[in-house]
């Protein structure tokens, strides 16, 4: 995961420069299936499309260890519920600030797209998701 949304960039700048306080959000990870509509412009604007829905899907809580050298890694394995129907091919993930709806904070393309079929479980292993600020 390599980028912050415009929403988050503005919140961090305003907070850091003393304009407006930014309350630390409870973060969730979301899965998305359509690489063709999740363009850089849409991702930066926080308008991701084609989030998985139904078929047993729900955003999951995710936590990160303390950052080192500008990078933080997830500090526990994240396991999504077993699919109760075909969910499509996961091409993107995003860190969100709500269980549903909300704002994109960070986003990125998965290294290898993964098709999730009925009975499959999507998992992100401990230390396998990184967020870096450049």
Q: Where are the domains of the chain?
A: 3-19+26-132
- The model's confidence at residue 128, banded by pLDDT at 50, 70 and 90, is very high
- The model's confidence at residue 7, banded by pLDDT at 50, 70 and 90, is confident
Query: How many other CB atoms sit within 10 Å of the CB of residue 77?
Result: 12
Give dist(CA 85, CA 83) in Å, integer.
Answer: 5
**H-run or E-run covering 16:** helix 6-16
Within 13 Å, how many C-alpha atoms sit on residue 124's CB side? 29
């Amino acid at each position: 995961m390599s980028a912050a949304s415009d929403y988050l960039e503005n919140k961090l700048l305003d907070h850091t420069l003393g304009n407006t306080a930014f309350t630390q959000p409870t973060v969730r990870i979301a899965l998305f299936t359509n690489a063709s509509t999740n363009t850089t412009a849409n991702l930066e604007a926080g308008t991701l499309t084609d989030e998985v829905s139904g078929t047993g899907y729900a955003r999951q809580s995710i936590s990160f260890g303390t950052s080192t050298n500008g990078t933080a890694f997830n500090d526990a394995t994240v396991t999504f519920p077993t699919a109760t129907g075909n969910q499509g091919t996961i091409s993107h993930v995003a860190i969100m600030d709500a269980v549903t709806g909300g704002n994109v904070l960070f986003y990125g393309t998965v290294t290898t797209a993964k098709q999730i079929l009925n009975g499959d479980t999507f998992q992100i292993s401990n230390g396998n998701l990184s967020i870096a600020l450049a």
